[in-house]
Amino acid sequence: MAIYEITADELRKIDETSFSSAGVRERQDMQRLLRGQIEIVSPDTLIIAEEFSQWEDSNRRIDLLGIDKDANLVVIELKRTEDGGHMELQAIRYAAMVSAMTFDRVAEVYSDYLTRNDEPGDARALLLDFLEWEEPDEDRFAQDVRVVLVSAEFSKELTTSVIWLNERGLDIRCIRIKPYRDDARILADVQPIIPLPEAEDYRVRLKEKQQKERASRNSNRDYTKYTLTLDGQPHERLTKRATMFTLIGHLIRNGHSPTDIAAAIPWRQNRTFRVADGTLNHDQLVATLSAKAVNGGRAFEEKRFYCGDDELFHVDGKTYCCTNQWGTRFPECLNALIETFPGESIAFEACE
């Protein structure tokens, strides 16, 4: 099909061209542009790596690697050849190679990507925000890998192969980006080839179903309030995070060290506190921890910690801030502290 400009007197045909004739390079141009507007070929996707190649004994590189709202990895391959070459075979290899990636590994890769592109932010926190999760869920993370192939054209051989693979459970999409030249302007016609446009209504309904399922999962989040009783004194209708913060503050005031408190929750031991030398206020602590992150230390995002001047803990010449992220294992965290410090009078119950 051709593209025409509607004028007062005629339909003026826009001449088709090729990327090479237009001086558009696959990696330096198309890849860079799509990286910044990935929704053009893959909606609801966060790019986490470019030219990804971190495997032993292999020099293969994934053009763009992303993650979608359902926590599936997305392999995006670009080709400016006329027929797409053997993109499907190459992309399947890549999909297999990334299929075993964990949340922590993806966070490391995304952190490297942010650093190389001078983009601010804590990769781990940004991933959780994108996925709308409170904490990593390996049971739901990267359970599938989607493939998006982008080319100026696709051969019949390739499209037949992709349709056959999709019928057997893979998720491969083909997006055609065809260039046109209109005097000095280069235009791009972007069309989904697979799934076929005729199947778009079904795809939209499927997407709506998935969005409703995500909304249902979000609506099932635990907003239970708790009554925490310390030394006979009840603290009522506390959120999960407030319950943990109140208990931890009580333990520290009673002489228990932040190190011992963190060790009582081994699965969160390295995430319970952030610490800096000296007796610092809010501004000083945030500046210190942020500077450490910039200089290669652990990433720090203030909103995920209790950092107010009256929320900090000063112990043995150090300043500690406590996390406000406890996730689905909150009851286990609470019980672990109660069991570790049996000399303390601690009780809790869910509010009506």
Which residue spans within the chain are E strands per DSSP?
Answer: 3-6, 11-16, 45-52, 62-68, 73-79, 145-151, 172-182, 185-194, 226-230, 233-238, 273-277, 305-306, 313-315, 318-323, 346-350
The reply to whether the predicted model has a pTM over 0.85 is no
Collapsing DSSP states into helix, strand and coil, what is residue 74? strand
If asked whether residues 322 and 300 sit together in one domain, one would say yes
Return the number of other C-beta atoms located less than 10 Å from residue 145's C-beta: 21
CB 103 within 8 A of CB 127: yes
User: DSSP state, 319?
Assistant: E
If asked whether residues 35 and 137 sit together in one domain, one would say yes
If asked whether residues 10 and 116 sit together in one domain, one would say yes
If asked whether residues 196 and 119 sit together in one domain, one would say yes
Q: How many CA atoms lie within 13 A of 304 on its CB side?
A: 20
CB 74 within 8 A of CB 68: yes
CA–CA separation, 257 vs 314, rounded Å?
10
Sheet holding 226-230, edge to edge: 233-238, 226-230, 346-350
What residue type is 73 in one-letter code? L
Collapsing DSSP states into helix, strand and coil, what is residue 26? helix
Calculate the CA 216 to chain-centre distance: 20
Determine phi and psi for 221, rounding to 5 degrees.
-60, 150
- The structure tokens listed for 350 are 């869910």
* Domain enclosing residue 24, as ranges: 3-219
pLDDT (0 to 100) of residue 46 = 97
Last residue of a domain, one of 204, 219, 234: 219
Where residue 232 falls (left for φ over 0; alpha for ψ -120 to 50; beta otherwise) is: left
If asked whether residues 160 and 18 sit together in one domain, one would say yes
If asked whether residues 258 and 284 sit together in one domain, one would say yes
If asked whether residues 126 and 251 sit together in one domain, one would say no
Those residues of the chain that have pLDDT short of 50 are: none
If asked whether residues 161 and 307 sit together in one domain, one would say no
If asked whether residues 304 and 167 sit together in one domain, one would say no
Burial class of 316 by CB neighbour count within 10 A (0 to 12, 13 to 18, 19+): exposed
If asked whether residues 230 and 208 sit together in one domain, one would say no
Last residue of a domain, one of 219, 245, 263: 219
What residue type is 315 in one-letter code? V
CB 199 within 8 A of CB 323: no
- CATH number where 112 lies: 3.40.1350.10
pLDDT (0 to 100) of residue 48 = 97
pLDDT (0 to 100) of residue 19 = 82
If asked whether residues 191 and 239 sit together in one domain, one would say no
If asked whether residues 157 and 184 sit together in one domain, one would say yes
- The structure tokens listed for 35 are 């990286």
Burial class of 78 by CB neighbour count within 10 A (0 to 12, 13 to 18, 19+): buried
Q: How many structural domains comprise the chain? A: 2
Last residue of a domain, one of 168, 199, 219: 219
